[in-house]
Amino acid sequence: MRVIEIRLPAELAEELGLRDPRELEEHARLLLAIDLYMGGRISLGRAAELAGLSYDGFWEALRERGLRIRAGPRSLEEAEAEYEAVKRFLK
């Protein structure tokens, strides 16, 4: 894993209710994965994997934010990538 340092005002983390750096990291991973998924750049399975959540957990995170789940893959490549992400998760 590559480590990237991001400087944030302490008030931002406090407003989010995230006092522990690990919580902030998990929150950032989730938001970045959501952004990639909603932009159609990655599949739901891959987004869940990047966010560190189960498929159902990621789906729930989308629903909690009022976001709609795309119905099915947009291409054969996306379907294969989603299949591979689910296989890795189930190991």
pLDDT given for residue 88 in this prediction: 82
0.85 exceeded by the pTM? no
The pLDDT value given to residue 40: 86
pLDDT for residue 57: 94
Provide the pLDDT for residue 35: 96
User: What is the block-wise mean pLDDT of the chain (91 residues), using blocks of 10 residues?
Assistant: 83 84 90 93 91 93 89 74 80 72
| pLDDT at position 71 | 63
Ranges of each domain in the chain: 10-90
74 touches 42 (CB < 8 A):
no
Q: What's the confidence (pLDDT) of residue 72?
A: 65
